[in-house]
C-alpha cells in the first residue's frame, strides 16, 4: 500500500510538473511571438516612417529644384530677349511690326512662355505684344499700340501663322499698361532686376498665370523699356501632376495665402478647362478632402518643415511642405507632398514576412531548447526525488518527496514501527561537505525542538547517516499555506484573520520568550491544517533562519547581510541586519495580516531593492484603500500599528498583540462550523501533501548583500 501510494503520488507530481512545464512553455512561446510581432510591427512602422520622411524630403527637394529651374529658365529667357532687343540700333524699330520676327522664334523655343510684351516708358506707354494662340501650329496674335501713328485708344491687331500674317485690324484699345501688376513691379525695381507678380487672371486670355518683367534702357538714358513674359499656371500644374512620389502620392503647389497654383494628379484635372476653373481657388474650397486635411494638420503643426503623419478618409498619410523662393519681393510658394502609408507596405511585406519567419524560427528553436533543458531538469529532479525513496534513515522509511527547503529536501515518511506519518527533512548533498552549513542545519533543529506550542511545527527526531547526511523528523501536516489560502479563495474575512493571527501570536510568544526570533515570518511559512477534527489550526513552519538572542552570532550572521523575504522585512533589519528582535517578527506578522485582509502585499515593486526602499521610506497605504471589502477599524488599527517604522510604536510583544486582537469586535466570532464548511467546499482545490510552488519570485526567502550600499531617496 505504501509503495502504491508513493507511486501514485510520484506519478501525480510528475504529471503536474509536465503540465506546468508545457503550460509555461506555451505561454512563453505566445509571449515570444507576441513580443516578436510587436517588435516587427514597431520596426515596420519605423521603416515606413523613415521611408516616408526620406521620400518626402527627396521629393520636396526635387520639386523645389524643378520650380527654381523653371523660373530661372524663364529669367534667362527674359535676359536673352533683352540682349536681342538691345542689339537693334534704331530705337524706333523696337516697337515696329518687324519685331515679330525677332520675338516669335523666342516664344516658339520656350514652351513655358505664353506671351511676351515690350513697352516704352513714355507719355503714351506704347507697347508691342505677342501672344501664343496655338503653339503646335505656330499661330500668334500680335497687339501693337503706337499713339504717334494711330492715335491713343487704338490698337492694331495681327494674326500670324507659320511666319505669315493672315489678317490685321484695328480695334478700340482699353488695355492700360500702367495698371498691370508687372508694370508696377518693374518700375519699383532696379534696372535689369527680374521681378514676378503674384498669380492673377490674364487680361487678354482669361487664363491664370504669373508675369516676369524687367526694366532696361538703350544707350539713350531718356528712353526706358519694360519687357514682360507671361507664364501660365497650367504649366506648373503639368509639372506637379507628372511628379508622383508613389503610386498614390501627390504633389501640389500653393501660394503663401493657400491658393492652389499647381494641382495634384487627379482624374478630374485632365483637361485645360477643369484646371483653369480650379486654379487660384483657396484650398478649403477644393473638393480634395485629403489635401485639405493635410494642409489643416500642417497649420496645426505650426507650418513645420518636417514630415509628419496624419489620418484622412480612414487611411494613414505622411505630409511634407517646402518653401520656394522664386524672385525678390515675391511672396513665393509652398510645395506640398502627400504619401499614403499603404504605398510602402507592399514593398515592405516581403521583408516583414521574412522577419516574421526568422522570429518564428528563432522562437521555435528557443522553445525546443527550453523543452530539452526543462526535461533534463525534471529528470534530474526526479532522480533526486527517488534517490532516497525506500531508504531508511534511522527508524524512518522515506516514501516520496514533498518539497524543498533552503538547505534540504522534505520527504513524506513513516516511522518503521509506529507507522506514523512523518515529514523528514534531509540536508542537501551539496551542503554535506560544508561545516558551516551543517552547523546551521543542526542549529535549526536544536532551536526548533525547544518549542512545544501547539501552533508550532513539532520536531520528533534528529540523526545523521553513516555517509554524514543530516536529517530530522517532524510532524506531517496536511493543509494549505496562508499564501495558497489567499490564492484559492481571495482575501479572508476579518473574523477568520483574527482567529489565525491569535494562533500565530501564541507560537511567536513562546519562541520570543525563549529568545528565539523566527526572522522569516510570511504567509508561505504558515500552514492552515485540520488536526484531530479541528479546522483552521495554524502551524508556524520553517525555522531555518531562527536566531537565539541569548547566544553570540556566528561569523556568517555578523556579515553585513539582510536575510528574509523582501515583502515582510522590517525597516530596522534593512538598515542594520544585526538589529533583529521580536518586534521585527511582529512587523512581518503585520504584513501577513495585511495580505490576508486585502490579498495584496504592503509594498509591491519590480525588485527586492525597490521593495526594501519602500519599507524604509514609504508609509503603508491604509487597508481601506487597498480593498473594496469592509475592514473593521479596530483590526486595521492593530495591523497598521504592527507596520510602524519605529519598533517602539509597534505592539511590544506577541502577547501584547494577542491582547489587542482579543479586544477587536470580531474576535472569537469565527466558528467551527464556518471553518468546517470552508474546508468541505474547498478540499478539492487544496494541495494534497505535495507542495505546489505558486509563489512569486519576491515571496521567496532571499539574502540581500550590502544594504549599506543603497542610495537613499
Say yes or no to pLDDT of 686 above 80. no
Q: Which residue has the higher pLDDT, 212 or 95?
A: 212
pLDDT tens string 34-50? 766 776 666 667 777 88
Question: Is the pTM here over 0.75, yes or no?
Answer: no
Mean pLDDT of 683-707: 53
What percent of the chain has pLDDT above 90? 29
pLDDT at 695 over 50: no
Q: How far is CA 199 from CA 187, 255, 260, 623, 710, in A?
A: 18, 8, 10, 74, 71
CA 393 to CA 469: how far, in whole Å? Answer: 10
Instruction: Kindly state the cell numbers that stand for 227.
Output: 519687357
- Which band of pLDDT confidence, cut at 50, 70 and 90, is reported for residue 98? low
Q: What is the structure's pLDDT at 392? A: 81
* pLDDT one-digit tens code per residue, 555-606: 444 444 566 788 888 998 888 877 778 899 999 999 999 999 999 999 988 8
Does residue 706 have an active-site annotation?
no
Q: What are the φ/ψ torsions at residue 116 (nearest 5 degrees)?
A: -140, 145
Residues in CB range of 349: below 8 A, 6 or more apart: none
- Asked whether the predicted pLDDT for residue 209 surpasses 70, the reply is yes
pLDDT of res. 405: 66
685, 444, 435, 482: which is closest to 599 by C-alpha? 482
Round the average pLDDT of the chain to a whole number and report it: 81
pLDDT value at residue 625: 85
- Do 290 and 313 form a contact (C-beta atoms < 8 A)? yes
pLDDT of residue 702: 52
Can you tell me the mean pLDDT for 266-287?
91
Residue 189 has pLDDT above 60, yes or no: yes
What pLDDT shows up at residue 711? Answer: 42
SS3 191: coil
pLDDT at position 319 is: 94
Q: Which residue in 456, 462, 480 sits closest to 408, CA to CA? A: 462
pLDDT of residue 368: 77
Q: What is the 3-state secondary structure (H, E, C) of 278-343?
A: HCCCEHHHCCCHHHHHHHHHHHHCCCCCCCEEEEECCEEEEEEEEEECCCCCCCCEEEEEEEECHH
pLDDT at 414 over 80: yes
Note the pLDDT of residue 544.
56
Crossing angle for the helix pair 233-242 and 2-86, to the nearest 10 degrees = 150
Whole-number percent of the chain with pLDDT over 70: 82
Helix axes 582-598, 654-662, angle to 10 degrees: 30
Helix H or strand E encompassing 450: none
Q: Whose CA is closest to 160, among 131, 203, 202, 126?
A: 131
In this predicted structure, the answer to whether residue 521 has a pLDDT above a threshold of 50 is yes
Burial of 708 (0-12, 13-18, 19+ CB in 10 A): exposed
Return the pLDDT at 393: 81
pLDDT tens, position by position, 368-379: 776 777 777 777
Mean pLDDT on 653-657? 93
Grid coordinates belonging to 352: 516583414
Section 191-196 average pLDDT: 90
Per-residue pLDDT at 339:
92
Residue 145 has pLDDT above 60, yes or no: yes
pLDDT of residue 70: 86
What pLDDT score was predicted for residue 514? 87
Q: How far apart are CA 264 and CA 244, in angstroms?
A: 9
- Would you say residue 172 has pLDDT above 50? yes
The pLDDT score that the predictor gives to residue 264 is 93
Tell me how far apart the alpha carbons of residues 69 and 67 are, in angstroms, rounded to a whole number: 5
Say yes or no to pLDDT of 381 above 70. Answer: no
- List all residues 6 or more positions away from 83 whose beta carbon is below 8 Å from its beta carbon: none
Mean pLDDT check: name the lowest of 191-205, 383-397, 473-487, 594-608: 383-397
Model pLDDT, residue 352: 63
Quick check: 173 pLDDT over 90?
no
Q: Is the pLDDT of residue 549 over 60?
A: no
Rounded average pLDDT over 472-482: 87
Is the pLDDT reported for residue 692 higher than 50?
no
Q: What is the set of domains in the chain, with CATH numbers? A: 235-345 (3.30.450), 392-475 (3.30.200.20), 479-709 (1.10.510.10)
Nearest to 9 by CA among 484, 403, 392: 403
Q: Mean pLDDT over residues 449-465, rounded?
A: 87
The upper half-sphere exposure of residue 92, i.e. CA atoms within 13 Å in the direction of its Cβ, equals 3
Taking 50 as the threshold, does the pLDDT of residue 269 lie above it?
A: yes
CB atoms within 10 A of CB 392: 12
Give buried/exposed letters for 286-312 (b at 16+ CB in 10 A, else e): bebebbbbbbebbeeeeeeeebbebeb
Q: What is the pLDDT of residue 556?
A: 43
> Does position 292 have pLDDT exceeding 90, yes or no?
yes
User: What's the confidence (pLDDT) of residue 470?
Assistant: 86
Higher-pLDDT residue of 355, 710:
355
pLDDT above 60: residue 58: yes
Q: Which of 126, 173, 230, 520 is catalytic?
A: 520
pLDDT in tens, 300-309: 999 998 999 9
pLDDT, position 693: 41
Question: How large is the average pLDDT for residues 484-493?
Answer: 91
Amino acid at each position: 500500500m505504501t509503495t502504491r501510494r508513493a507511486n501514485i503520488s510520484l506519478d501525480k507530481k510528475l504529471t503536474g510538473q509536465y503540465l506546468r512545464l508545457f503550460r509555461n512553455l506555451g505561454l512563453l512561446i505566445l509571449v515570444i511571438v507576441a513580443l516578436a510581432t510587436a517588435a516587427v510591427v514597431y520596426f515596420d512602422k519605423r521603416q515606413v516612417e523613415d521611408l516616408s520622411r526620406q521620400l518626402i524630403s527627396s521629393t520636396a527637394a526635387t520639386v523645389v529644384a524643378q520650380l527654381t529651374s523653371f523660373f530661372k529658365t524663364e529669367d534667362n529667357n527674359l535676359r536673352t530677349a533683352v540682349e536681342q532687343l538691345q542689339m537693334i540700333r534704331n530705337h524706333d524699330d523696337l516697337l515696329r511690326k518687324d519685331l515679330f520676327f525677332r520675338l516669335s522664334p523666342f516664344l516658339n523655343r520656350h514652351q513655358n512662355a505664353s506671351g511676351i510684351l515690350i513697352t516704352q516708358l513714355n507719355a503714351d506707354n506704347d507697347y508691342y505684344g505677342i501672344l501664343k494662340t496655338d503653339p503646335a501650329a505656330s499661330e500668334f496674335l500680335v497687339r501693337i499700340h503706337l499713339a504717334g501713328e494711330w492715335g491713343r485708344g487704338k490698337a492694331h491687331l495681327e494674326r500670324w501663322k507659320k511666319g505669315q500674317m493672315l489678317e490685321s485690324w484695328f480695334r478700340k484699345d482699353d488695355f492700360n499698361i500702367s495698371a498691370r501688376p508687372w508694370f508696377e513691379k518693374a518700375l519699383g525695381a532696379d534696372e535689369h532686376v527680374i521681378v514676378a507678380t503674384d498669380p492673377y487672371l490674364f487680361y487678354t486670355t482669361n487664363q491664370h498665370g504669373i508675369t516676369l518683367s524687367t526694366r532696361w534702357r538703350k544707350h539713350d538714358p531718356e528712353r526706358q523699356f519694360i519687357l514682360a513674359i507671361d507664364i501660365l499656371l497650367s504649366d506648373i500644374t503639368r509639372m506637379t501632376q507628372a511628379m508622383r512620389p508613389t503610386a498614390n502620392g501627390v504633389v501640389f503647389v500653393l501660394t503663401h495665402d493657400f491658393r492652389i497654383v499647381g494641382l495634384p494628379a487627379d482624374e478630374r484635372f485632365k483637361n485645360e478647362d477643369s484646371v483653369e476653373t480650379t486654379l487660384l481657388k483657396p484650398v478649403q474650397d477644393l473638393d480634395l478632402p485629403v489635401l485639405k486635411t493635410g494642409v489643416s494638420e500642417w497649420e496645426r503643426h505650426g507650418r513645420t518643415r518636417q514630415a509628419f503623419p496624419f489620418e484622412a478618409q480612414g487611411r494613414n498619410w505622411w505630409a511634407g511642405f517646402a518653401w520656394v523662393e522664386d524672385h525678390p519681393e515675391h511672396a513665393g510658394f509652398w510645395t506640398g507632398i502627400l504619401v499614403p502609408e499603404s504605398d510602402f507596405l507592399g514593398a515592405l511585406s516581403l521583408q516583414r514576412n521574412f522577419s516574421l519567419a526568422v522570429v518564428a524560427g528563432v522562437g521555435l528553436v528557443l522553445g525546443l531548447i527550453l523543452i530539452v533543458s526543462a526535461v533534463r531538469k525534471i529528470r534530474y529532479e526526479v532522480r533526486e526525488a527517488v534517490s532516497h525513496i525506500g531508504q531508511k534513515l534511522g527508524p524512518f522509511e522515506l516514501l516520496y518527496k514533498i518539497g524543498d527547503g533552503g538547505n534540504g529536501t522534505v520527504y513524506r515518511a513513516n516511522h518503521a514501527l509506529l507507522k506514523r506519518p512523518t515529514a523528514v527533512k534531509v540536508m542537501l548533498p551539496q551542503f554535506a561537505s560544508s561545516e558551516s552549513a551543517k552547523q546551521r542545519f543542526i542549529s535549526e533543529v536544536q532551536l526548533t525542538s525547544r518549542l512545544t506550542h501547539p501552533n508550532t511545527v513539532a520536531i520528533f527526531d534528529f540523526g545523521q547517516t553513516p555517509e554524514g547526511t543530516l536529517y530530522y523528523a517532524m510532524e506531517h501536516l496536511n493543509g494549505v499555506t496562508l499564501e495558497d489560502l489567499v490564492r484559492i479563495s481571495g482575501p479572508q474575512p476579518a473574523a477568520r484573520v483574527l482567529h489565525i493571527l491569535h494562533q500565530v501570536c501564541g507560537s511567536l510568544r513562546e519562541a520570543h520568550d525563549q529568545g528565539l526570533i523566527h526572522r522569516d515570518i510570511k504567509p508561505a511559512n504558515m500552514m492552515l491544517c485540520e488536526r484531530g477534527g479541528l479546522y483552521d489550526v495554524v502551524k508556524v513552519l520553517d525555522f531555518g533562519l531562527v536566531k537565539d538572542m541569548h547566544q553570540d552570532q556566528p561569523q556568517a550572521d555578523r556579515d553585513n547581510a539582510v536575510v528574509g523575504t523582501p515583502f515582510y522585512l522590517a525597516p530596522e533589519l534593512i538598515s542594520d541586519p544585526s538589529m533583529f528582535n521580536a518586534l521585527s517578527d511582529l512587523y512581518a506578522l503585520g504584513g501577513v495580516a495585511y495580505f490576508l485582509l486585502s490579498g495584496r502585499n504592503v509594498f509591491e515593486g519590480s525588485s527586492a531593492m525597490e521593495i526594501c526602499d519602500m519599507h524604509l521610506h514609504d508609509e503603508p497605504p491604509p487597508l481601506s484603500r487597498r480593498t473594496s471589502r469592509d475592514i473593521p477599524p479596530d483590526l486595521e488599527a492593530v495591523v497598521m500599528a504592527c507596520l510602524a517604522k519605529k519598533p517602539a510604536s509597534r505592539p511590544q510583544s506577541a502577547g501584547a498583540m494577542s491582547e489587542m486582537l482579543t479586544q477587536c469586535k470580531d474576535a472569537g466570532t469565527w466558528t467551527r462550523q464556518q471553518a468546517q464548511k470552508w474546508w468541505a467546499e474547498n478540499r478539492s482545490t487544496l494541495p494534497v501533501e505535495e507542495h505546489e510552488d505558486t509563489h512569486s519570485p519576491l515571496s521567496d526567502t532571499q539574502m540581500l548583500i550590502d544594504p549599506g550600499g543603497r542610495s537613499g531617496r
